[in-house]
Amino acid sequence: MNKYSIEERIFLVKSFYKSDENVTLTLRKWSSHYKNRSKPSPNTVEKLVEKFNKTGSVADDVEWRKNKTRSARTPELVESARQIAQEELSISTRRLSQRLGVSTTTAWKVLHEDLECFPYKIQVAQQLTGAAIEKRLDFAGEMCQLIDERAININKIIFTDEAHFWLDGYVNRQNFRVWGTEKPELLRTKPLHPQKLTVWCGLTSAGIIGPFFIEYSITSEVYHELLDNEILPEIRDRGWIDEYHFVERTSNQQKELG
């Protein structure tokens, strides 16, 4: 029904009654009037007429609900909800409905439709202490000075990172949903210590170093072993050793290659 405009629906209803409630004649008048439009099915015409007889309107129910007076969601109620939401950012719709003295559905509509709010998930980020921020600023200042003094070549800095791949099929419960009319007895078992594979890779303007695969947890000792046995030999083989500085993210030490 949505593909027909209000004007077209009115034409169908008028033609139906002018044709002595004959659906076939109604569709013929449609074809004559709207030559480039496919005609609706007889069932569509009958449902449209039935809707008009019941409601006195040919508009969709959604449009009718939008245009009708919303007695429960008054401007005063919306303003009260705005003030409460600003004071309590994480308030639930159930709690808001209790504060406003309305149903949970009305509280939800006020938040979403009137105030145009959206329930955002809290973001988790790494905590940075004052000492950590100071170390980062000192490192940034030192690197800027080295670059200004041309002590290092920024085109030959190695940018590195690692990614973890879970081998047992990791499930993110926030994104995994199962639709049903009843709660399914669905469980996903996982081992106490799931297996994972870590992939390390370095990127420079001259090319890619690695990737290297690590099947166990990365510690400071493991990282230094990877540097000495895998990464540094590959850099030496490429002839880059004299112009590289390598800084490990998880260590307070700076290891210069040269």
Within 13 Å, how many C-alpha atoms sit on residue 253's CB side?
7
Comparing 172 with 57, the larger pLDDT belongs to 57
- Among 211, 213, 229, which Cα is nearest to 221's? 229
Judgement on whether residues 251 and 165 belong to the same structural domain of the protein? yes
Strand (E) or helix (H) holding 224 = helix 220-226
| H or E, element range at 254 | strand 254-257
As for how many domains the chain has, the answer is: 3
Please tell me the total number of residues recorded for the chain in this structure: 258
Q: How many of the other CB atoms lie within 10 Å of CB of 223?
A: 18
Q: Has residue 142 been placed in a domain?
A: no
From 87, 114, 141, give the residue that closes a domain. 114
Q: Are residues 196 and 251 in the same domain?
A: yes
Q: Across residues 16-44, what is the average pLDDT?
A: 89
pLDDT tens sequence across 58-93: 887 654 455 444 457 888 888 998 898 888 888 888
pLDDT at 176: 58
**Residue 241 sits in the same domain as residue 193:** yes
Q: Are residue 169 and residue 239 in the same domain, yes or no?
A: yes
Q: Whole-angstrom Cα distance, residue 254 to residue 209? A: 19
Q: What is the DSSP letter of 194?
A: -
Query: Which pLDDT belongs to residue 240?
Result: 66
pLDDT 10s digits, 91-125: 888 888 888 888 888 888 888 888 888 777 667 67
Instruction: Provide the domain limits for residue 80.
Output: 75-114
What pLDDT score does 90 carry?
A: 80
Per-residue confidence band for 257, with pLDDT thresholds at 50, 70 and 90: very low
Same-domain pairing of 11 and 31: yes
pTM (2 d.p.):
0.39
